Structure 1
Amino acid sequence: MTVSPGGTATTTLTVRNDGDIVEAYTLEVAGDCAAWTTVEPARVSLYPGTSETVTLTFAPPRSHEVRAGETPLAVRVLPAERPESVVVPESTVTVEPFHELRTELEPRRRRGWLRARFRTAVQNKGNTPVDVVLAGRQDGEDLTLGFTPDKKRLEPGESAEVALKVRARKLIWFGEPVTWPFEVLATEGAEAAEGAEGGTEKDAEPKAVATAPVDDGQPGGAEPLPGEFAQIPVLPKWLLIVLAALLALLLAWFALVRPAVQSTAKQAGAKAAQEETER
């Protein structure tokens, strides 16, 4: 019997009274399937030599707590009159795998002269282990994006944090700030290597709000997370204005004030010499 998480599947079980008295049977599901398996009807009364078929319905939730693979199934059939004759037929239910990655980039935007640090959180919400590969993508070659580590194996329900370092190709010495958009991809297995653009670095440090769940029944499904690095100039605009004002004052000094001072000094010197001569 195979069932998909979030779906349902049914099977039947036949209960037969081989005794010589009328018997009531209570049916209870045991094992790991019990939480999401029901029996209808859960109690049957049978005359000797008769039988009845009951229906077992399996409805595992779409949760990482329900692991993919074979799950033991047991149904306890308990007679009311002769409880010592209890029987427990056993079987297995195969739960199909599903894949779901939940990723988060914090913060969504950072400012800096040359580099910035972000934090990428990844959680495996699926019911089977996955190898998650992180990659960065950016239009052009203005940024390099590096993750540490860039690969992580996650068990169902497990979370991990990965450091992301974003670095611009060159400094902006003066002018207006420039915003460089980029995307973070969290993909399962080797498929993540395709589409990774904008360069990679092996060294990265933490620091990292935008969430984007990735819900895909097949491996490799991923939804990119947008981020931005706002690169600011090394010399701010106000500093350029101050330097320009200082330069203008300096030029004014040499062009206007200094000649006037020199002329006044010469006149004062000449007057003093004349007075000395008259004496």
Structure 2
Amino acid sequence: MSITCPKCGDENPDGTRFCVVCGEYLAWERHDPEDDTRRPQRAEPPPQEQHAELAVGLSDSSLACAPGELVTTTVTVRNKGTRVERAMVTVEGGAASYATVVPEELVIQPDEAAECVVTFAPPRSSSVPAGAASFTVRARSQVSSGITAAAEGYCVVAGFDDLSVELSPKDSRGWWMTQHMVVFTNQGNMPHRVRVRAEDAENELRFSRPAPGLLIAPGRTELALRVWARPGLTGPARQIPFAAKVDVDDGGKTIRADGTRTVLPLAMSWPLKAVVAVVVLALAAAVAFNAWRGEQEQAVLDRETYLAGSGTLTDGHTSVETPRLPDEAKIFLSPDLSQGSWAEAEPGWLPFTGAVGVTRRGWNTFSVQGLDGSNVAGMGFNYLIVRDPKGTLNGRPYEAGSGSIQPGERQVSIPAATATSESVILLTVEMDGMPADHVAGLRVDAKEDGGFTVATLDLMPAPMEIGFNWVVIDSDDSSVAGTGTTTSGDPARIDTSAGSGVVLLTTDVTHSGLSGAAAPAVYVDDQDGDGFTVSAFTGPAVGFDYLVVERRQ
């Protein structure tokens, strides 16, 4: 039987007098094992608490790449939790469309890291604009629900130039005036500011003068070029070559497109007297017809205080035909993405502001064009024309006028006798020709009894004089006119019995807390018989004014 040392607890053979470990004297008497003092036992540690956490880092968050080439960044995903993780790595944001991740899935031990490579390869096409595109690399745990981590960066895509110009048709025949289209095909990834001029060697032709500083966005753009000649009474047809010359980016280069104008003689092979008689009769008939048509169209406009309808921006611009358009008539526009080819567009394709304006008006037509330099080809829009400075719209009284923001200014105060802090106010830019610089659009910045304040959407100084039309409407009936606010996630819903009518909108920051900050434009997102929804192109939630009128075209 062994003897247990009372001091250290070690077991010693029977008969041992001193402990072989500590030297303690061992008593002679035998010890009952149950009375022996046992060696203390070490307590088991408590089980470790489990938790999950990921961290993401980038080897380079600021990248630059030329279209058609590629650039990479290494992603490091660290497992800061206590269990083995399986993480899926994805790329979000503007650069995600041309990004790939290899490998997409990582298995990571606790307190260790794993790497993958993100490759950005922007294509050499107009689908990817030049400039900085942000991205977010996100790692999502496939083991622990809801555990994610992310790192942000940006990729600067270099610009490339691929602009061509041609005349369509190249050859035209006629007596006095013919028309060609200057067709711009921009297959590059950045817009170009151009100036178009035309000339012939003998100075026999006269040409229309397109607005200077036209912005050619990626895609196809057409510009009308009218050519006048002075025909002779008799003789052979004359072929006069001419050229349209396009100065690109302030004269950085010039592109030439050649054409031919064939001038026909008035008499051709007919007897001169017969020709004169026919011409006189034709002119008389034309004058009589135009007078009759003008009377009929004016009668239509006289019966109605307004006209309203919809259109689509073909290649970023379009012309709208109307009955005779008086000089004092005011035109109002609003983007409508529930119609046109943008009705099914992805949100990522939205332009910067979506601002549209009237860039030219004629006897019975007006032109509509995008203003901020974004590609708005295929975007739908609604329009409203009010004939008189005062009248009624859907039974609600209105007051209309014009104003302008001067170069270098951000806003202007407009006096309006019927305006109050609760009025509905619509604004639309109207300029004589396409502006030489980008115009972000306009907004209502303040309202008060007797007037209101108009400001640029982005609160940047106006690069030139920005002309605009305004109308103030009594908003007592919210089914036809009122105010609303978009949200950051969902469109704002407006229920109205006139839901199938034409909807006009204007950004109004007087009640949304954005009076000192840039604000986005708003657009019609969807429309049905019971109402419509409104969204903002970019940015935070924003207020807006709306008007719904019966469609009259």
TM-score in terms of structure 2 length: 0.34
Other-structure match for 1:32: 94
Other-structure match for 1:172: 232
Conserved? CA contact 1:135–1:150, under 8 Å: no
Other-structure match for 2:107: 45
1:163 matched to 2:224: yes
Q: 1:227 aligns with which of 256, 259, 264?
A: 259
Q: Distance in 2 between matches of 1:156 and 1:175?
A: 46
Other-structure match for 2:194: 132
Secondary structure of the structure 2 residue equivalent to 1:29: strand
Conserved? CA contact 1:99–1:125, under 8 Å: yes
Q: Distance in 1 between matches of 2:209 and 2:240?
A: 18
Q: Distance in 2 between matches of 1:85 and 1:238?
A: 88
**How many residues were matched structurally?**
211
Q: Distance in 1 between matches of 2:142 and 2:67?
A: 35
Conserved? CA contact 2:199–2:205, under 8 Å: no
The CA deviation at 1:164 is 1.4
Q: Distance in 2 between matches of 1:119 and 1:150?
A: 16
What code does the residue aligned with 1:164 have?
Answer: L
Q: Distance in 2 between matches of 1:51 and 1:162?
A: 58
Q: Distance in 2 between matches of 1:147 and 1:107?
A: 18
Other-structure match for 2:132: 70
Q: Distance in 1 between matches of 2:168 and 2:248?
A: 21
Other-structure match for 2:277: none
Q: Distance in 2 between matches of 1:7 and 1:146?
A: 43
What code does the residue aligned with 2:237 have?
Answer: P
Secondary structure of the structure 2 residue equivalent to 1:35: helix
The CA deviation at 1:91 is 0.9
Conserved? CA contact 1:131–1:152, under 8 Å: yes
Other-structure match for 2:504: none
What code does the residue aligned with 1:8 have?
Answer: L
What code does the residue aligned with 1:190 have?
Answer: D
For residues 22-59 of structure 1, what are the alpha-carbon distances to aligned partners after superposition, in whole Å with 9 as ceiling and x for unaligned?
32221011112222111011011123344333111112
Conserved? CA contact 2:184–2:222, under 8 Å: yes
Conserved? CA contact 1:147–1:163, under 8 Å: no
- Which deviates more from structure 2 when the two are superposed, residues 30-39 or residues 103-112? 103-112
The CA deviation at 1:178 is 1.7
Conserved? CA contact 1:32–1:72, under 8 Å: yes
The CA deviation at 1:3 is 1.8
TM-score in terms of structure 1 length: 0.64
Conserved? CA contact 1:4–1:97, under 8 Å: yes
Distance 1:141 1:221, change over 3 A: closer
Q: Distance in 2 between matches of 1:237 and 1:221?
A: 42
Distance 1:221 1:42, change over 3 A: farther
For residues 243-266 of structure 1, what are the alpha-carbon distances to aligned partners after superposition, in whole Å with 9 as ceiling and x for unaligned?
xxxxxxxxxxxxxxxxxxxxxxxx
Q: 1:2 aligns with which of 54, 64, 75?
A: 64
1:13 matched to 2:75: yes
- Which deviates more from structure 2 when the two are superposed, residues 83-92 or residues 116-125? 116-125
Distance 1:88 1:4, change over 3 A: same
Q: Distance in 1 between matches of 2:221 and 2:97?
A: 29
Q: Distance in 1 between matches of 2:260 and 2:72?
A: 50
Distance 1:122 1:150, change over 3 A: farther
For residues 91-136 of structure 1, what are the alpha-carbon distances to aligned partners after superposition, in whole Å with 9 as ceiling and x for unaligned?
1111222334354533222112344222334355443333221122
Q: Distance in 2 between matches of 1:104 and 1:164?
A: 12
Conserved? CA contact 2:197–2:245, under 8 Å: yes
- Which deviates more from structure 2 when the two are superposed, residues 118-127 or residues 40-49? 118-127
Q: Distance in 2 between matches of 1:134 and 1:29?
A: 43
Distance 1:123 1:138, change over 3 A: same
Q: Distance in 1 between matches of 2:268 and 2:142?
A: 87
Other-structure match for 1:213: none
Other-structure match for 2:532: none
Q: Distance in 2 between matches of 1:147 and 1:160?
A: 17
Q: Distance in 2 between matches of 1:221 and 1:24?
A: 57
Q: Distance in 1 between matches of 2:223 and 2:116?
A: 51
Distance 1:84 1:167, change over 3 A: closer
Gaps spanning 5+ residues in structure 1: where? 192-218, 243-279
Secondary structure of the structure 1 residue equivalent to 2:250: helix
What code does the residue aligned with 2:108 have?
Answer: L
The alignment's C-alpha RMSD in Å is 2.9
Secondary structure of the structure 1 residue equivalent to 2:97: helix
Q: 1:189 aligns with which of 246, 249, 260?
A: 249
What code does the residue aligned with 1:232 have?
Answer: L
Other-structure match for 1:245: none
Other-structure match for 2:393: none
Other-structure match for 2:486: none
Conserved? CA contact 2:196–2:210, under 8 Å: no
Q: Which structure's residues are more often helix, by fraction? A: 1
What code does the residue aligned with 1:185 have?
Answer: K
What code does the residue aligned with 2:242 have?
Answer: F
Q: Distance in 2 between matches of 1:60 and 1:37?
A: 8
Q: Distance in 1 between matches of 2:91 and 2:221?
A: 36
Distance 1:220 1:55, change over 3 A: farther
Conserved? CA contact 1:36–1:60, under 8 Å: yes
The CA deviation at 1:156 is 4.3
